[in-house]
Amino acid sequence: MTHLFIINPAAGSRDRTADYSEKIHTACHDRGLDYEIRVSQAPGQCSQIAREAAESGRQYRIYACGGDGTLNEVVQGAAGFDNVAVTVFSGGSGNDFVKLFTDPKAFFELERLLDAQEDTFDLIDCNGDISLNICSVGLDARIGTDVATYKRLPLLHGFSAYAASTVVNVVKGIAEHYVVEVDDQIIDGDMTMICVCNGRYYGGGFNPVPEADPADGLLDVLVVKKVSRLQVAGVIGKYKEGRYKELPHLVQHFRTKHITIHCDKETPINLDGELRLGKTVKMTVSDKKLRFFYPKGLTWRLKERAKV
């Protein structure tokens, strides 16, 4: 088995290629491991490198060296291949996906990642693209995809960048008209946002559906009706903490295998923090699966977490 480290120098607030490389060489050399280091030179290249490894037929463990965006790129390339397993060697600014585990900081420690266990996770197919974590449309998507812009500003990282993007986008406008098809229901009206969860955390710490399970074969969907500017702060506060059940008059929750959103115009789609555009948005549980590995001793399962 080969350990393949794909470094994204654009992840986070600075280029950490040298830091990553030193840690990788030291840890892998000491263990006598077969390993490779590849550095992405352009957007999308992490996916290309991962796909080339997967298509080789050789056994790989692939480490996405960066944050959620880097992990998303690597997953795009590795999804559906049985001969590769993927993880994230954290170094980005968000690192949201791994917050579903009992000790997210363990993903910063290569020695712990080298002693790993794995599970098979579901994936979201969004108009042909693959998402491991969370997709959304509406105010939430505009906020999420604008976060990268605010992260470039001094002192704005993680949740503070998300908060800044929230303020600006709320001022621009909250609700838009959508027609949502889910579980043989049609919801037609002005809506604030639609969030589709496979994972649990995004946006620097938002946890909209705490019970979401990335291995249950279902998507957890929140459809948020139109809210006023006076309501939005309170709604987002409860939404962030996964308290959607306290807002039955505004938020509908579905557990489903597919959802279709019809938009009046080309609309931003947030796909694990990456921007896509579409007028019709189809999201399903993908036929492809992902082998995901993580440090031994951690768990993401809710029943097991409750015992820790």
Confidence of residue 157 (pLDDT cuts 50, 70, 90): low
Distance from C-alpha of 299 to C-alpha of 103, rounded to nearest angstrom = 8
Note the residue count of the chain: 308
Contact call for residues 107 and 202 (beta carbons, < 8 A): no
Average pLDDT, the chain: 91
> Residue 143: its pLDDT value, please?
74
Sign of the C-alpha dihedral computed for residues 11, 13, 14 and 17 taken in this order? negative
The full set of domain ranges for the chain reads 2-122+289-307, 129-285
CA 11 → CA 6, 65, 71, distances in Å?
A: 12, 8, 10
Taking Cα atoms as reference points, which of 83, 17, 32 lies closest to residue 53? 83
pLDDT in tens, 127-148: 999 999 999 999 878 776 666 6
Q: Which CATH architecture has domain 2-122+289-307?
A: 3-Layer(aba) Sandwich (3.40)
User: How far is Cα 58 from Cα 150, in angstroms, rounded to an integer?
Assistant: 40
**Residue 41 burial (CB < 10 Å; 0-12/13-18/19+)?**
exposed
Q: Which long-range contacts (CB under 8 A, 24 or more apart) does 161-169 make?
A: 161/93, 161/204, 162/203, 162/204, 162/205, 162/206, 166/236, 169/139, 169/142, 169/143
In CATH, what is the architecture of 129-285? Sandwich (2.60)
Is the CA virtual torsion 174, 260, 277, 136 positive or negative? Answer: positive
Residue range 21-37, pLDDT digits in tens:
999 999 999 999 999 99
> With 60 as the cut, is the pLDDT of residue 117 above it?
yes
The pLDDT assigned to 204 comes to: 76
Is residue 154's pLDDT more than 90? no
| Tens of pLDDT, residues 212-228 | 999 999 999 999 999 88
How much is the pLDDT for 95? 87
CA separation for the pair 89, 204 (Å, rounded): 17
Give the pLDDT band of residue 38 (cuts 50, 70, 90): very high
H-helix or E-strand spanning residue 293? strand 290-295
Least confident of 180-189, 198-207, 291-300: 198-207
